[in-house]
Amino acid sequence: MKKLHLAFITLALPLLLQAAPDPNFHIYIAYGQSNMAGAGAIRSGTDDIEHSRYKMFATTVCTQLGRYNVGEVYPAKPPIFHCNEGLSVADWFGRYLADSLPGITIGVIPVAVGGTKIELFDKDKYTAFLNSLDLPNDQYLLNWAQDYGSDGNAHARIVEVAKEAQKVGVIKGIIFHQGESGAMEGNDWRAEVKKTRDDILEALNLSADTVPFLAGELEDEAAGGCCSWASKNLIDKLPEVMDNTYIVSSAGLSGNGIDQFHFSSESYQEFGRRYAEEMLKHIKLEPVEVTPQLPFNATNTPWTIPGKIEAEDFDIPGTGSDGNSYNDSDPDNNQGKSTYREGIGVDIKDLASGGHAIGWNANNDWLEYTINVSETGNYTLYAAVSGEGGRMVFSLDGNQIGDTVNVSTDNAAEVDTVSEEAYSDFYKVKTNVRLESGEHILRMTVAQQWFDLDYINFVKGENAPDDSPIDNTDESSSSTAQNPSSSSTQPSSNSAENPGSSAGSAENNEKNEISDASTEAIIGIAEPGLSAAPKVYKLYTLKGELLRQSKGTQVSTKGLNKGIYLLQEQSGTSKTAKMVQIR
C-alpha cells in the first residue's frame, strides 16, 4: 500500500505526453439558478458523506472547504457551487448515477447563481444583464456571479473548466434548472436556453446529438410553488425547440416550507435521483444491478472460522457504492510488484516461502474478508506481522471486535520468538474477540502505518494458543529499505562469506563446518531420535541474503539451488552460525 516518498520535483518537463482522457470518467455540466446552486439544508451524516466515485471540478475557490484551485478535481461534497450554499439537485444526481454505473467515476462542473435570469449564461448578453441589476438591492447576485470571475462571465467559467475536464474524462451530458427568474417576462426564454447550451457545446467541440440536456420542472403548485405555470408552458416545451432534450418532473416533491421557490432537502435528494434515472436513459446505459463482494477462493465461499485467512486473499470487489472490498491510498502504484492478483490495486509482496503478504500499509487502508463463524463464542485473533510499529483495528459488519492491535515486537504473542530484522521476519500479535455464528464481513483497518501482514488466524477460546508455524520470510532483502521504520541488520556479504567472523552478529561461530542436505528435503538440526528444544534458525546465502526462517528442529530446502549456505541458530540472545551444503 502507499509509501511516503520525501522527494521534490524541481524541473518541469514540458515534453511529457498528455495521457488520453479516461472513457470511464463521465463528466456533466450543471448550471442554472438557486435550486441548482444549492438551497437545501445539508443533512449531517446523509448529504455530507463522501462518495468515492463522485467528483467535482472546482469552479470557485473555497479555501475553507479545502478547494484551492479552479479546475482541479475534489470530492463532490456539498456545497459544490459556492462556498456558503447548501444542498443542490446536482449532489444526489451524481451519487445515484455513480451507484448505477459500477466502475464509472462521475464528475460535475457546477456553475449556478441564485436569482439570476438565463441571460447570465449568454456569452453575448451577460454584461448587459449585470449592468441592469438594481444595486444595491441586487448586490448579492452580482457577488455570486463574480465568484466565477471578476467580470461575472458564467459562460466563460463553464467553458474554461470544461476544457480542463476534457483532458481527463468525457463530457456526457448537461443538467439544468432555471426559470423562476425571467421566464415569464415576455422574452423568448426557450430560445435563450437553447443558445446558452449551443454556445457551450460549440466552445467544447461537442454535438447536441451526443450530449443529452435535462431540464427540471419548477416547484409544483400543489407544493406551494409560485411558478408552475412556467413548467407547463415553457420548460415542458423545451424539447420542441431543443434536440436531445428531456424534462425531469417535480411532481410530488415538497417545498421547504419557507418560500415558494425552493425544495426540501429530501426532495433535492429525490429530484437528483430522477435526474440520474432520466440521464441513464439517454446516454444509452441502463442502471447496473448491484452485486455483492465475493470471497477470493476457488468456490467463492466464505472462509470458515475458526481457521486461517491469508491476508492477500481479501474479497473480490462487488459492484455499486457498497461493493468495495478494499481501500488503498495509492491504488495505481503497486509497490510490491507481485504478479499475484496483478492489477487489483493493493500492494502484495512475494515471500521466499512461495506465499505472499500485504505490504506498505498506509493510514486508513483496509481489507475485507467474507467469513462464516461456525459457533458463537470467544476466539483469539492472531495476525502474522512484520515491522517495528503500527496499529490495526478489526471489525465485523462495521463494529470493532477486540482491542486495537499494536504491531510491535513488545506485543508479540509468547509462542513466538522475534529477531531483529524488522521487515524480514514475521511474528504474531493477538487480541481476544467475541464472534457470533453466521456469515459476516471482517475488515482489517490500518490505524497507524507501516507494517506488513501475512495472515489472520482465529483460534477457538480466549487466549488460546496458535500452533500454526510461521515460515514466510520476505523474498527480498531490499524490503527493509522500502519500509521507512526499518533498522534491519542483516549479515554483510563480507561476514557471510567468512563465517568465522561476526556473520549476522553471531557468537561462537563454528568455522567451515559443512553438513549435507538434499535440495528436495530438509536440513535436520537435531540428530535422529534425539529431542531438541525449538530454536530460531535462519538460512542465508553467502552474500548475506536471508532465504529461510524456521522455529523447530529443521529448515526446508525445497526449491533452493545446490551450493553452500550459511545457517544461523538463535536461542535467546545467543547465536551461532555454520556453513551447510545443499546437494
pLDDT tens per residue across span 408-448: 877 676 444 433 345 667 889 999 999 999 999 999 999 99
d(CA 429, CA 385): 7
**Are the C-beta atoms of residues 310 and 249 closer than 8 Å to each other?**
no
pLDDT > 60? residue 60 = yes
d(CA 150, CA 157): 11
The strand pair at 563-571 and 307-310 is best described as unpaired
Residue with cell 535436520: 524
pLDDT > 80? residue 579 = no
Q: What is the pLDDT of residue 483?
A: 33
At a CB cut-off of 8 Å and minimum separation 6, what does 395 contact?
401, 442, 443, 445
C-alpha cell at 295: 470471497
pLDDT tens per residue across span 5-34: 333 333 333 333 446 788 889 999 999 999
pTM, full prediction: 0.51
Which of the two residues, 233 and 370, has the higher pLDDT score?
370
Q: How many CB atoms lie within 10 A of CB 134?
A: 8
Radius of gyration (Cα) for the chain, nearest Å? 32
Most confident of 88-92, 205-209, 463-467: 88-92
Residue with cell 462542473: 109
d(CA 310, CA 349): 13
pLDDT tens per residue across span 462-507: 999 988 777 555 444 333 333 333 333 333 333 333 332 333 333 3
Q: What is the pLDDT of residue 103?
A: 83
**Are the C-beta atoms of residues 86 and 78 closer than 8 Å to each other?**
yes
The CATH fold of domain 303-482: Jelly Rolls (2.60.120)
Q: Where along the chain do the CATH 3.40.50.1110 domains lie?
A: 25-282
Cα atoms found within 13 Å of the Cα of residue 13, Cβ hemisphere only: 5
Residue with cell 413548467: 231
pLDDT tens per residue across span 517-536: 544 445 555 433 333 445 67
Q: What is the pLDDT of residue 544?
A: 61
State mean pLDDT over 64-71: 94
Q: What is the pLDDT of residue 185?
A: 59
Q: Where along the chain do the CATH 2.60.40 domains lie?
A: 493-582
> Cα–Cα–Cα angle for 199, 205, 207, nearest 5°?
75
pLDDT > 80? residue 195 = yes
**CATH class for the region spanning 25-282:** alpha beta
C-alpha dist (Å) from residue 483 to 354, 360, 488: 21, 7, 10
pLDDT tens per residue across span 289-342: 557 889 998 889 999 999 999 999 999 988 644 567 898 877 666 777 788 888
State mean pLDDT over 150-176: 96
Q: Where along the chain do the CATH 2.60.120.260 domains lie?
A: 303-482
pLDDT > 80? residue 129 = yes
Reported in sequence order, the residue ranges of 113-222 that DSSP labels E, i.e. its strands, are 170-177, 213-216
The distance between the two most distant Cα atoms of the chain, rounded to a whole number of Å, is 105
Angle formed by the axes of helices 154-165 and 189-203, to 10°?
A: 40
Question: Which of the four pLDDT bands, split at 50, 70 and 90, describes residue 552?
Answer: low
d(CA 254, CA 31): 22
Average pLDDT over all residues of the chain: 80
To the question of domain 493-582 being in CATH 2.60.40, the answer is yes
Q: Phi, psi at residue 391, to the nearest 5°?
A: -145, 150
